[in-house]
Every structure is written in C-alpha cells, then in structure tokens.
Structure 1
Amino acid sequence: MKAFGKILGLVLLGLLLIIVALGFALTHLFDPNDYKDEIRQIARDKAHIELTLNGDIGWSLFPWLGLELHEASVATLTNPTQPFADLQMLGLSVRVLPLLRREVQMSDVRVEGLNLRLNRDKQGHGNWEDIGKNAPVAAADTPSPAEQPAEQEAEKPPKPIRLDIDSLTINNARVEYNDEQTGKQFSAESIQLSAGAVHEGASIPVKLTAFFGSNQPVMRVKTELNGNLRIQHALKRYQFEDMRITGEATGEPLQGKTVTFSTQGQLLVDQAANIAEWTNLKLSANQLRALGELKINNLDKTPQLNGALSIAQFDLAKFLDSVGNPLPPMAEGSLSKVELVSRLQGTPTRLALEDLTLKLDGSTFTGRVAVDDFAKQSLRVQLKGDTFNADNYLPAKSESAKGATAARQAEVQNSEAGAMAAGGTTPLPDAPTKGAWSTDKLLPLARLRTLDINADLAFGELTLGKLPIQNAALKASGLDGQLKLDTLSGGLYNGTFQANGTLDVRQDIPVLALQSRIKQVPVERILQAQGQTPPVKGQITLDSNLSGRGNSQKALIDSLNGTASFAINNGVLLNANLEQQLCTGIALLNRKTLSSEPRGKDTPFQELKGNLTFRNGVANNPDLKVRIPGLTVNGNGDIDLRVLGMDYRVGIIVEGDQREVPDPACQVGSNFQGIEIPLRCRGPLELGAKACRLDKDGLGQVAIKAAGNRLNEKLEEKLDKVNPQLKDALKGLFKR
C-alpha cells in the first residue's frame, strides 16, 4: 500500500508539473496579438459590435485567466467608423475552474482612461440604440424563407451567473452626452471609482468622485460619493448603507456664487415589494439644514411618495443671496428666521406638503402647500397664520420714487406753511404740480402669465399697506394670465374692510379692476398709517368700483376710471376753524369787526358725504354735503389724484353765532337768512379745510342778495299800510 500511495503521489505531481509546463508554454509560446482579426470577427458575430484593438493584448492562463487590453475602442456595426467608447487599458483576471460551474471569480478589475460618448442626432436617434444590432443587410442578400435555418427548440433559461470580484477600480474615466436637437451637453469627467470585494449579499465599500458639467445653463459640480453597497439579486433587494454625498456647485444660475452641499442616509430598493426608502436623511446646502425620511410605494405602477421633512431655522435671505438669487431690499430682518416641519405626499407629477407648520420671522402658519402639476406649475396654498406683516416683504422704494415723494412733500410743506387756516387771511394756496406716484414697474408680467395658483389664506392679524386688518381672509386664483382676487376682508379699526378684483396680464399693458367697501373705519387712522397728517377725523364708509391700466403706480393712477361714494359720520375738520372763517365773512357783510377771539382750531360735523366719478386720474365730486350744527355746506369740485390735489367751490348757509352771548359782528340777521357764504378750497389734498378761503368773487353776489333782502324788508314795511290786494301785486312785481 505504501508503494501504491507513493506511486500515486508521484503521478499526481507529474500531472501538476505537466499542467504548469503547458500553461507556461501557452502563455509564452502562444501570442493572442496574432489573432486580433479573429477576435474582432468574434466581437462582430457574437456581440454585434466593432472592436478595434490598437494596443497589445496581454494574458495569463492558470490559475487565473488574465487579460489586458490596451488602446481599444468600441463602435456599433451601423456606424463602425465612429466609436462610442474607448479606453487606455482594461485589466482583469478570472479563475479558470469556477468558470466551469458558471461562477465568475475575478481578482482586481482595472479600467484606465475610459471615454464614453453618447450622442442624439437631429432626428432624435441615439447612438447607443444601435449597440448589439447587426449591420444593415441589402435586400438581395436576405436569405429566402426556404434558406433560413429552422427554428431551434426553445432553450431553458440559463442559470444566473454568480459574480465574485476582489476589487474594482476605474481611473480617469469620462462620460459625455450631446443632444443635437436641443444643443444641450452634459459631461462627467475625472471619474474615479473604487469598490472593495464584490460578493453576493456582502457589504461592498464604494467610493466615487467626479466633476459634472452642462452647457445650458453652464454649470460645474464637484462631488464625492461614499458608502457600502449590498446587492441581493435573488431577493431583488439593493441597499446603499451609510451613503454620503458631498460637493460644490457653481455656474450661471448661481451668479458666480458657490454652493457647498452634502446629503446622507440609508437607501433601500426592494423590487420584490416594489418599495424604495431613504431613511435617516440629512441634507445641507450652505446655511440650510434639513432632516427627513422618504418612502416610495408602487414602483411597478404609479409611484406614491410619503415622508417627512424638517428644516431647521435659517436665514432664507442670506441663503438665497449665497446661491446667486438675492431678493430685492426689504425691511431689516425679513426672512431671517425661517423653519418648516411637514409631511410629504406626491407622485411623479405632483408634490404636497401636508400638515405644514411654517415659522416666518415670528409669524406661524399651518396648513397645506402643494404643486398639483409640475409641468403647469399648479400651486395650491391653504394656510392659516397668527400675525403677519406683509409690508416687511415688499421691495423698498427706488431712488426715483423716493425723489418724487420728497419733491412733493416739500411742495405740501410750503403750501401748509402759508395756509394759516385759523385766520384765513392769506391768499388761496396754489394747486400742486408735483407727481405723487412712482414709475417703477410693479408686476413681473412674464411670471404672472405662467402662474397657475389657487390660494386660501387666513390671518389673526394681517398688516397690509400699514393697515392692521383683524381676522383677515384672502382668497385668490390665477390661470393663463388672468388673476382674480375673490376676496380680501377683515376688521379694520373696529370697522370692516372688503375688496375683490381682477388683473389681466395677457397683454403688454396689464388691466386692473378693483371693487372695495370700507365700513365705519376711522379715516384719520387710515391716513396716519400712510404717514400723512389727517385733515379730518371720523368714521368713513366708502364704496368704490375702479379700473386702471399700466404697470406702475403712475400709469394706473393716470388711467384710473370708475365711481365711488363716501360718507364720514361724527367727524371733525382738524386745524380748520370754519366757524371763524364764516364769522369773518358775516362781519364783512355786516360791516363790523369781530370782538371775540377764535374759540378753537377744529370744526366738528355730523356728516360729510358725496359721490365721485373718476376719469383718467381726476375724481369729480358734484354733490359734496356737510352737516354741521348751525351750518349747511354744499360743494362741488375735483380731486386730482395724479398730484393729490383738490379744487373745490363750497357754499355755506349759516345761522351765525348761536352762543348765549354771540359776537355782534357774527350775528345773522334776516337779511342773510338762506344766503350761501362762498368758499374756495385749493391745494394739496393733505391740507384739507386748511386750504379753504373766502371766495371774494362770490362774496359780491352775496352782498347783492343781502341788499335785495333789505329792500324787500323795507317794502314790507311800506306795503303794510296799503290795500292787501295791491300789496300782493307789488310784491310779485319785485320778485320777477
């Protein structure tokens, strides 16, 4: 037995030496470079590709089947002269014996200098679509049905090949995509990929770095990917554990700025269950920090997204500036404290933020925000807020607008300085001439034309135009360049406010129509909120229906047309003692001098009302009525909104000094009963009644009428002594 074992051992040793010798002989005596043409033909026949081998082929046989290709390129058979891929070197080794069991056990796989070029021509055909296709065959060469080989029996599906690779390395690879239809180009350059041992079900460490670029718009992104990849083919389950992507981006959309970003988490794709998940999601981009999780169901049908997102407090204004999209100047501190928590729901065509809580500079909103259709940018908003100051987010006035405002304020101040309304002895103020409105563009017409929005907002308190609107509600919609304000309503200084309107931006000149109603709101509070000194106090009720055209304040005011009616109850004309003005007029008519001092600087009234007709920025008021104790005021005139000026003629029927001890010069005798004292009011609108003076031209007519009254009084005395019938006849004669 010992001898047999010794002989068997010597035989096996001899066989091994023979195999090693044969391997040495094959690898040293057999040169695969001599068979390049045969290899290229096999590539055409079996893989249907055009393989070009410009470099040497190196190889080894046992125990590894080693292969190295240098300077190789690959093209399609339909276009063999234009390779879509080339490489400097491909090196790999495969164990020979496992191949017999359909197992691929490889050592290191190295790829150097791979270039992959994907091109879509002007007809929309991509060069990758021809990979694996045979070259076109002429009709004459097509074999007849009789010549075609009989169909082979269906083969059983091959057993899956099991991969087992020690490592994979790709250095200095490049992928580019060119679309001749759109002119767009994308590229990935300096690709470096390294992977550890690739085994079924095992954790595979992966690292990838690359530079990505595009030309429309010009963008450049540097990125690095790290993580552990786990592949389970049998279960159709793929995981990317501890995934982390970091990088920097710059380009035209960022206006020269750089965005530093990173994201990480656990990725899972389970094709058997048709789900994909991204858990422990962390995202950062400059100042932005976010956490969340995402889950997608129904991968085999219409994917359904569910998840959650939480964005930590950050400075949105600084973030937008850091990504090259600075906002117009706003109030200091605006958009400096923003945070968000929400559930996510969506499909490939829509995304909704449900159960949203948004904190914005001290304001808190809850509700829902959704894009119902990405292609149409259909925005749907349903939010409820506690307090919100919308004025803080409006662009600041431009320098030209500030200059126009300053010039007009100086004009108003000059007029007010010369008014001396209490005495009323100065000349009538001049009509204003300075424009009151900005020529800056108000609306982004191109953006509004594409807007598809439906908004439903509610606020505990909304500050808009410096007006604090309580329990405000806003509903608005927009589609195809036609925007509609369904309602904007709420409480205002214990009164109510409501407005609705439309905006048509389909043409270059937008058209605005607005209807509004203000009920029992203190008019002085409205004016004070606008930074104006109120000329009047009282509760105003205003109804208006107005329209205008243009894309600036000035254009809208210059084209303003429509109607309005107003009434102010329980009011006071401030800094305007009309009683003193009237007593001065009565004293002149009585040819007396006032002996008492002015009793106050204001004039109370019970009601002030009228109707307005707007035509190209000028409001005509034909029926001004004012009820003051002891006075009846009628007036008519114009309010020129273009310069915020007025020009009124006012007639006042007075009862005179009604105090227990009246000023003798201000007593209204029977001669002045029913006579209107004329006033002329002209100047900046802010002056109010301070711009009113006695109308001396009209005062002459008052004197004539008063003289007629005295003549009638004397006639009455004479006629009392004559026959009554003759008396009536004579009185009729004097009335003609």
Structure 2
Amino acid sequence: MKSLGKILGLFFLGLLLIIVALGFALTHLFDPNDYKDEIRDLAREKANLELTLNGDIGWSLFPWLGLELTDATLASADTPDKPFADLRLLGLSVRVLPLLRKEVQMSDIRVDGLNLNLEIDDKGHSNWENVGHPRKTASATDAPDSADKTAEAAPQAPSKPSDPIKLDIDSLIVNSARVDYHNAQKGQQFSAESIQLTTGAIHEGASVPVKLSAFFGINKPVMRARTELQGDLRFDRVLKRYELENAKVSGEASGEPLNGQTLTYALQGQLSVDMAANIAQWSSLKLSANQMRAIGELKVTDLRDKPKLSGGFSVAEVNLRQFLKGIGQEIPAMADENTLNKFELVTRLSGSPSSIKFNEMTLKLDDSTFNGELAVDDFSRQALRVKLKGDKLDLDRYLPPKSKEASARDAEVKQSVAKAGKAGTSELPNAPTQQAWSSAQVLPIDRLRKLDMQVALNLDQLTADKQNFSNVDLQAKSAGGLLTLDNASGSLGSGSFVAKARVDVRPATPVLSLQSTLKRLPVEPFLTTAENKAPVRGLLDLQANLTTSGNSQKAWVEALNGTSSFALENGVLVGANLEQQICQGIATLNRKQLTREINGTDTPFKTLNGNLTFRNGVASNPDLKVEVPGLNVTGDGDLDLRVLGLDYRIGVTLLGDTRAMPDPACQVNERYVGLEWPIRCRGPLELGAKACRLDKDGLGKVAAKLAGDKLTEKLEEKLGDKVSPELKDALKGLFKR
C-alpha cells in the first residue's frame, strides 16, 4: 500500500511537472504578439471594432491566465481614423481551474491612462456607432428572403437559464482616466478627468469598499466640479439587487451660475436599487450645501417605464441671504436689509422626469409661515403652480428702497409744509415740480414672456405701504406673455377692496390695465407718513378703470389714462379751517378785525365726491362737491400724479357764523346770502386743505359785486318807479359784470 501511495504521488507530481512545463513552453515559446494582425481581424469581424495594438501583449497561462495590454486604441470599423478610446495599460489575471466551475477568481484589475472621446456630429451620427455588432458582409446582405423566413419559422428550443458566473476579484484600480463627450448637434460638451477608482475585494453578497474621485465639467452653462464618492457596495445578481451602504458624496463646484463663488456640497445616506421590484431608494439622506443643511428620504418606483419620485425632506433654519450671496446669486435691493435671514422648509414631494411637486409644505420666511403646495408641472415650459396660505407677510420689507427721485420730492414737500403755516394764512404754495416716481425698470420682461404660472395665495394679514390688510386673496396666472390678476381682494378696517388687472408683455412696450372697487376704505392710513399726518380723513368708495404702458413707475404714471368716480364720507379736512378763512374774507369786506379765532383747526364734512378723467398722468376733476356744515362747496381742478400735486379752484357758499354768539365781524347779512366765495388750492397732495387760500383776485370781484349791488339798491331808492323795469335790470347787470 505504501508503494501504491508512493507511485500515485509520483504520478501526480509528474503530471504537475508536465503541466508546468507545458505552461512554461506556451508562455515562452508562443508569443501572442506574432498574432496581432489576426487579433485585429477578429475584433473587426466580430465586434466591428478597429483595434490598434502599438505596445506589446504580455501574458501568462497557469495557474493564472494573465493578460497585459499597453498602448492600444479603439475605433469603430466604420471610422477607423477616428479613435474613440486609447489605453496606456490594462492588466488582469484569472485563475484557470475555477473557470471550469464557472467561477471567476481574479487578482487585481488595473487600468491606467484610459481616454474615452465620444462624439456626435451635426447629423446625429456617433463615432462609436455599430461597435459591438458583427460586421455585415456582402453575402449576408444579399442572402435571399426565403432563408430569413425559414429561420423565423424554425422552432427554437426554450433556453435553460444558466447559473451566473461567480465573481471573486481581489481589487479594481483605475488611474488617470478621462471621458470627453461632445454633441455637435446640440452644442453640448461634458468631460470627466483625473478619474480615480479603487475597490476592495469584490465578492458577491459581501460589502465591497469603493472610492471614486473625478473632476467634471460642462459647457452649458460653464460649470466645473470636483467630486469624491465612497461607500460599501453590495450586490446580488440573482436577486438583481444593488446597494451602496454608507454612501458619501462630497466636492466643490464653480462656474457661470455661481458668478465666481464656490459651492461646497456633501451627501450621505443608504442607496439601494432593486431591479426585480423596479424600485430605487435613498434613505437616511443628509445634504449640505455651504451653510444649508437638509435631511430626507427619496424613492423612485417604476424605474424601467415611467419613473415616479416620492419622499420628503426638511431644510433646517438657514440665513437665506448669506446662502444666496455665497453661491453668487444677486439679491435685489430691499427696504429692509435684515430680510431673508431666516428660511426653513418641511415638505413631502412627488414627481416624474418632467415635473416635481412639493406637497404638505410648511415654509417659514423671516416672520411669516406658509402652508400649501408648490409644483413645476413641466420643466421644459417652466410651468409653475403655487397654492399657499400664510399667516402674515410684511411686503414693505421686501420692496426696493425709496428712489433718488422720491428723496428729492420729499425735500420739496418738507419745504412746502414748512411754508404753509399752521392756519393756512401764508402765501399760496407753489406747484410741486419734482418727479415722484422711480424710473428704474420693474418687470423682468424676457422672463415674464416665458413664464407659465398659476398662483393662489391667501394671507391672514398683509402689510403693504404700511397698511395692515386682512383676509387677502390673490389669484393670478401667466401664459404666453399675458399676466392676469383674476382677483385681488381683502379688507382694511371696516372697508374692503376688489381688483382685477392685466399685464401684456408681448409688445415691445408692456401694456397694463386695472379695474378696482373700494368700499368704505379708510384713507387716513394711506396718507399718513412719518413726517406728516394725513391731510384728510374719511371712508372712501371708489370705482376705477385705468390703462397704462411702460416698465417703470414713472412711465406708468405718465401714460396713465382712464376714468374713476369717488365718494369720501364722514371725513375731515385736517389742519385747515375753511370757516375761519371765509370769516376772514367777510371781515375784510366789512373792514373789521375778527375778535377771536373759530375753535378747531379742522373742517369736518359729510361727503366729498366727484369724477376723475385721467390723461397721461393728470386727473381732471370737473365736478367736485363737498357737503360741509354751514358751507356749500363746489370746485374743479387737476391732480397731477406725475409730481403728486393739486391745483383746484373752489367756490364756497356760506351761511356765516351761525353760532349763538357770532363774531360781529363775521356776521352775515342779506348781501352775503348765496354769495360764492373763491378759494384756490395748489401744492403737494400731502398738504391737503392746507394748500387752500382765499383767492385774492376772486375776492376783489366779490367786493365789486357787493358794491354794485349796493349802488343798485340806492338807485332804486332814488328813482323809485320813475324808470322802467327794463332799465333797472340793465343797471343791475352792468354792476354785476
């Protein structure tokens, strides 16, 4: 038995020596470089691939089947002079015996200096077209149709699914690889350079450490990014399941959209793809972009057909102003530079390759909180859909600061207010001359022409122009360059407003229209400023139908046309006592001095109403009527909205001092009954009734009329019935002229 064992041992030893000797002989006596032409022909025939081997082929046979290629290029056999790949080094080796058991046991796979240059010309043809398909021959092309039909008709035995080959690779190393993609048809370019890939041992079902780094670049827009990825890859080809555990992606990006700034980003989480279930997931997602932090989870279903996205994420509170500046985004000038300091978002989301929707969204911006949904229905059309409900919004904080034009006018108004005097006894104020509106462009015309938008916004409280509106409802839409405000309504105090508007940006010069209705809206809050009290108080009813054109406040006012009717009820002309001024006029005609001032500095009125016709920024008011106790007031004039000035001629018919103890100098006798007293109002709108003075020229005419009336009376006394009635009438008319 010992001899038999010894003989068997010697036999196997001899067999092993023979195998080693054969391997040595094959690897040393057989040189694959002698067969380069045959290898090229085989690649050309079977894969339609033009393979150029400039370097030597190194190889080994046993126990490792090893292969090493250097300095090789690849091109489509259809365009052999346009290589799409070149390789400095490819080295790999496989154990021979495990191959017989359908097991791939490999040592390190090493790829150095791989360059892929993929191009699509302006006709849509790529430089890798038809690679991987057997090359068509003339005989194959000319084969009769009957052969094809026979082949189609021949029954095929059902193929038995083969067991997948088991992989066992020590590592994969890719050094200094580069990929360039150029699509001349679309003008697109993409590059990935300095690609470094390393893995640990690759075993199916086991975690495989993976590390990848590269520099990426695109041309539309010009962007460049450095990215690193690491994680543990686990895959099961039978179950068609792939996982990247503890995935970490980090890097930096810069380019045109960032305007010279740098975005530092990082992502973490657990990635899994289940091709059998047609599902991909990213759980435990953590995202950071500069100082912004977010967490969430994403899921994609129906991967192969119509992918559907679902999930949710939340953005922690962040200073949005600093974040936007950090990524090179210009922030419009705002009245309050402390806006955008707080931003927070929690939402669910859903989407498809062409759309995304944020559901159950809670958004916090500074002191405001909004709930609702926001969606982009179609990325290609930028179709924006917004439906939000908010608690409050102080719009004044986000609007642009006052323009230089407004500042210049403020100085002019201050000067007019100072000269107006307490009781309006100074000279008639000058008409304002300074432009009240900004000439800065307001509407982003190019963007609005492309905008596809539908917005529904409800606010419990809206602060605009320092006024606190409540229950505000806004419904707007935009398509094809036409913006429509279907509804803007709300309340202010005891009053309400409803408005509709259109902005047409399709013409070279935008055209705007507005229809509005105000009911019992308090005017005092709108007219009060930090420097001056409101010149008038009351509840306003208004109907307006206006049109204009242009793209600045100044242009809109200067092109303003339309009509409006108004009625102001239960109001007060603040800081102007018309009764005092009329009494001063009566005292002047009586050649007496008032012994005291009439109490109060304001003039209350029951109603103030009229109609306005707007022509190029000037509103004409021909039928002003004011009901004042003891006075009957009518007038006509203009409101110049370009400089916010007024110019009115007022006629006041008075009853006189009707108090129990009237001022003797202001007593009304029969001569003053029904007499209209002239008043001129001119100056900035902020002055209100303080801009009104007795019209001295008109007062002279009143005095002349009174003198004529008195002379007529004396003539009648002297002449009595000695003259005809016709002559009396002629004499009266003479003195009334």
Compute the TM-score of the two structures, normalised by the length of structure 2: 0.94
Distance in 1 of aligned mates of 2:143 and 2:552? 78
Match of 1:314 in 2: 318
**Residue deviations 1:480-530 (CA, integer Å, cap 9, x gap):** 111111122111133212222111111221111112222222222111158
Match of 1:268 in 2: 272
Match of 1:633 in 2: 633
For the structure 1 residues 148 and 96, does the alpha-carbon distance in structure 2 shift closer, same or farther, using more than 3 Å as the test?
farther
Match of 1:325 in 2: 329
Match of 2:65 in 1: 65
**Residue deviations 1:413-447 (CA, integer Å, cap 9, x gap):** 222332236252x3322211111111100111111
Aligned pairs (5 A) from 1:384-533? 384-397=389-402, 401-402=403-404, 404-420=405-421, 422=423, 424=425, 426-528=426-528, 533=533
Match of 2:349 in 1: 344
SS of 2:612's partner is: strand
Aligned pairs (5 A) from 1:9-48? 9-48=9-48
SS of 1:128's partner is: coil
Distance apart, 1:50 and its partner CA: 1.2
**Residue deviations 1:660-688 (CA, integer Å, cap 9, x gap):** 12112211110111110001111222112
Match of 1:203 in 2: 207
Distance apart, 1:466 and its partner CA: 2.1
Are the counterparts in 1 of residues 320 and 343 from structure 2 also a CA contact under 8 Å?
A: yes
**Residue deviations 1:610-632 (CA, integer Å, cap 9, x gap):** 11110000000001111111100
Q: Select the residue among 234, 240, 244 that pairs with 1:240.
A: 244
Match of 2:376 in 1: 371
Letter in 2 for 1:267: L
For the structure 1 residues 533 and 136, does the alpha-carbon distance in structure 2 shift closer, same or farther, using more than 3 Å as the test?
farther
Match of 2:388 in 1: 383
Extract unaligned runs of 5+ from structure 2.
Answer: none
Distance apart, 1:31 and its partner CA: 1.7
SS of 1:597's partner is: coil
Distance apart, 1:45 and its partner CA: 2.3
Match of 2:607 in 1: 607
Letter in 2 for 1:211: F
Are the counterparts in 2 of residues 421 and 691 from structure 1 also a CA contact under 8 Å?
A: no
Letter in 2 for 1:405: A
Aligned: 1:221 with 2:245: no
Distance in 2 of aligned mates of 1:76 and 1:733? 116
Letter in 2 for 1:419: A
**Residue deviations 1:223-244 (CA, integer Å, cap 9, x gap):** 1000111121111111111111
SS of 1:210's partner is: strand
Letter in 1 for 2:560: L
**Residue deviations 1:159-196 (CA, integer Å, cap 9, x gap):** 34333222111011001101112332110000000112
Distance apart, 1:372 and its partner CA: 1.3
Q: Select the residue among 361, 364, 389 that pairs with 1:359.
A: 364
Distance in 1 of aligned mates of 2:50 and 2:605? 100
Distance in 1 of aligned mates of 2:230 and 2:312? 24
Match of 1:623 in 2: 623
SS of 1:373's partner is: coil
Aligned pairs (5 A) from 1:280-299? 280-299=284-303
Distance in 2 of aligned mates of 1:55 and 1:216? 38
SS of 1:223's partner is: strand
For the structure 1 residues 178 and 532, does the alpha-carbon distance in structure 2 shift closer, same or farther, using more than 3 Å as the test?
farther
Distance apart, 1:717 and its partner CA: 6.4
Distance in 2 of aligned mates of 1:47 and 1:537? 90
Letter in 1 for 2:199: A
Are the counterparts in 2 of residues 439 and 555 from structure 1 also a CA contact under 8 Å?
A: yes
562-571 or 81-90, larger mean C-alpha shift: 562-571
Are the counterparts in 2 of residues 204 and 229 from structure 1 also a CA contact under 8 Å?
A: yes
**Residue deviations 1:536-584 (CA, integer Å, cap 9, x gap):** 1222222211111110111000000111122222222122121121111
SS of 1:129's partner is: coil
Distance in 2 of aligned mates of 1:479 and 1:336? 32
Distance in 1 of aligned mates of 2:689 and 2:422? 8
Q: Select the residue among 179, 184, 189 that pairs with 1:175.
A: 179
Distance apart, 1:147 and its partner CA: 12
Aligned: 1:566 with 2:566: yes
For the structure 1 residues 148 and 112, does the alpha-carbon distance in structure 2 shift closer, same or farther, using more than 3 Å as the test?
farther
Letter in 2 for 1:172: S
628-637 or 9-18, larger mean C-alpha shift: 9-18
Letter in 1 for 2:418: A
Distance apart, 1:732 and its partner CA: 6.2
Distance in 1 of aligned mates of 2:607 and 2:251? 70
Match of 2:690 in 1: 690
Distance in 2 of aligned mates of 1:205 and 1:733? 118
For the structure 1 residues 195 and 140, does the alpha-carbon distance in structure 2 shift closer, same or farther, using more than 3 Å as the test?
closer
Are the counterparts in 2 of residues 421 and 692 from structure 1 also a CA contact under 8 Å?
A: no
**Residue deviations 1:586-625 (CA, integer Å, cap 9, x gap):** 1222232322235332222222111111000000000111
Distance apart, 1:733 and its partner CA: 6.6
SS of 2:400's partner is: coil
For the structure 1 residues 690 and 363, does the alpha-carbon distance in structure 2 shift closer, same or farther, using more than 3 Å as the test?
same
Q: Select the residue among 296, 300, 305 that pairs with 2:304.
A: 300
Are the counterparts in 2 of residues 40 and 50 from structure 1 also a CA contact under 8 Å?
A: yes
Distance apart, 1:144 and its partner CA: 4.8
Distance apart, 1:143 and its partner CA: 4.7
Distance in 2 of aligned mates of 1:212 and 1:336? 33
**Residue deviations 1:99-125 (CA, integer Å, cap 9, x gap):** 233332211110000001110101011
Are the counterparts in 1 of residues 527 and 686 from structure 2 also a CA contact under 8 Å?
A: no
Distance in 1 of aligned mates of 2:583 and 2:631? 12
For the structure 1 residues 577 and 483, does the alpha-carbon distance in structure 2 shift closer, same or farther, using more than 3 Å as the test?
same
Distance in 1 of aligned mates of 2:296 and 2:604? 64
SS of 1:127's partner is: coil
SS of 1:593's partner is: coil
Aligned: 1:117 with 2:121: no
For the structure 1 residues 352 and 142, does the alpha-carbon distance in structure 2 shift closer, same or farther, using more than 3 Å as the test?
closer
Are the counterparts in 1 of residues 439 and 553 from structure 2 also a CA contact under 8 Å?
A: yes
Distance apart, 1:16 and its partner CA: 1.0
Letter in 2 for 1:145: P
Distance apart, 1:633 and its partner CA: 0.6
For the structure 1 residues 729 and 175, does the alpha-carbon distance in structure 2 shift closer, same or farther, using more than 3 Å as the test?
closer
Letter in 1 for 2:303: L
Match of 1:249 in 2: 253
For the structure 1 residues 154 and 37, does the alpha-carbon distance in structure 2 shift closer, same or farther, using more than 3 Å as the test?
farther
Distance apart, 1:332 and its partner CA: 2.7
Match of 2:198 in 1: 194
Letter in 2 for 1:337: K
Are the counterparts in 1 of residues 48 and 130 from structure 2 also a CA contact under 8 Å?
A: no
Distance in 1 of aligned mates of 2:134 and 2:19? 40
Number of residue pairs matched by the alignment: 727
Aligned: 1:163 with 2:167: yes
Are the counterparts in 2 of residues 544 and 565 from structure 1 also a CA contact under 8 Å?
A: yes
Identity %: 59
Distance in 2 of aligned mates of 1:144 and 1:388? 77
Distance apart, 1:129 and its partner CA: 2.5
Match of 1:56 in 2: 56
